Amino acid sequence: MIQLPADMIDSLAAAESVLVLTGAGVSAESGIPTFRDARHGLWARFQPQDLASADGFLRDPETVWQWYQWRRQLVRDAKPNPAHTALKDMQRLYADFTLVTQNVDGLHQRAGSGDVIELHGNILRNKCSVTGRPIDDPAIDQDQPPPSPHHPRGLYRPDVVWFGEALHATILTRSCQAAEQCDICLSIGTSAEVEPAASIPRLAQENGARLIEINPQTTALSRHADWSLRDTAATLMPTLVERIASSKGRPLMR
């Protein structure tokens, strides 16, 4: 594991308000494919606009539905990894801590994180394809999208943000407010390529926050970050959170 800069630990220990933005890289070590990894990523093997868009769903609802059923099973079989657990522990060290995720797998919540802001929705939830109203039934064993209970022409669809769809306004507002008031923003496991999520760390910096990036690869954000740490989340996060806790004189209860 790489060396953690002492000045970064001091800044984290002194911070009053912390914002964390996570991406698919945080769930990679739970066995869930990321999107843009050139070899195994979801977008390396499938065309996003065909499978993760309203047009794609209209064109071929069965194929899109079956792709999501496959991803849902991956998510159900997955377990939170040490990065998720470390972020749950980190939340308890700060009075003002906001966790915003682009991930739709719910693993932060399963690790024990509270009040998680899901920018892109949650793959395990369904909603009506016409009205957008929630549908409680998980439809686990359905191999094609059942008809929606909310509209005669509606179908079940995953409650996730598709390409070309707007994010939920209040969710985006809450994320931007957290960015405007945080002292430190951590961007963990995201390629920082998809807007508006990618702008959240920059918004934090424009409002005076320090920026930490954790990613084994460089991204468009790396050159802006105050600290850009080339390591994996599951390796680095547990040590980082333990160092913050001991620096605050509050050793973690394991």
189 binds ligand OAD (CB under 6 A): yes
Of 40, 108, 120, 151, which residue is the catalytic one? 120
82 binds ligand OAD (CB under 6 A): no
Is the Cβ–Cβ distance between 188 and 23 less than 8 Å? Answer: yes
d(CA 109, CA 112): 5
Is position 168 annotated as part of the catalytic site?
no
d(CA 10, CA 5): 9
Contacts with 179 (C-beta within 8 Å, 6 or more apart), sequence order? 19, 185, 200, 201, 203, 204, 207, 209
Question: Token pair for residue 250?
Answer: 């509050």
Binding-site size for ligand OAD (CB under 6 A) equals 27
Q: How far is the CB of 101 from ligand OAD (least distance, A)?
A: 8
User: Of these, 4, 78, 194, 252, which contacts ligand OAD (CB under 6 A)?
Assistant: 194
217 binds ligand OAD (CB under 6 A): yes
Please, which residue, 184 or 236, has the CB nearer to ligand OAD? 236
120 binds ligand OAD (CB under 6 A): yes
36 binds ligand OAD (CB under 6 A): yes
Please, which residue, 35 or 68, has the CB nearer to ligand OAD? 35
User: Nearest residue by C-beta to ligand OAD?
Assistant: 25
Please, which residue, 10 or 45, has the CB nearer to ligand OAD? 45
User: Of these, 161, 178, 200, 240, which contacts ligand OAD (CB under 6 A)?
Assistant: 161
Region binding ligand OAD by CB under 6 A among candidate stretches 13-21, 109-117, 137-145, 216-224: 216-224
Residues in the chain: 254
213 binds ligand OAD (CB under 6 A): no
34 binds ligand OAD (CB under 6 A): yes
Catalytic residue numbers read 120
Catalog residues that contact ligand OAD under the rule CB under 6 A.
23-25, 28-29, 34-37, 41, 48, 102, 120, 160-161, 189-191, 193-194, 215-217, 219, 232-234
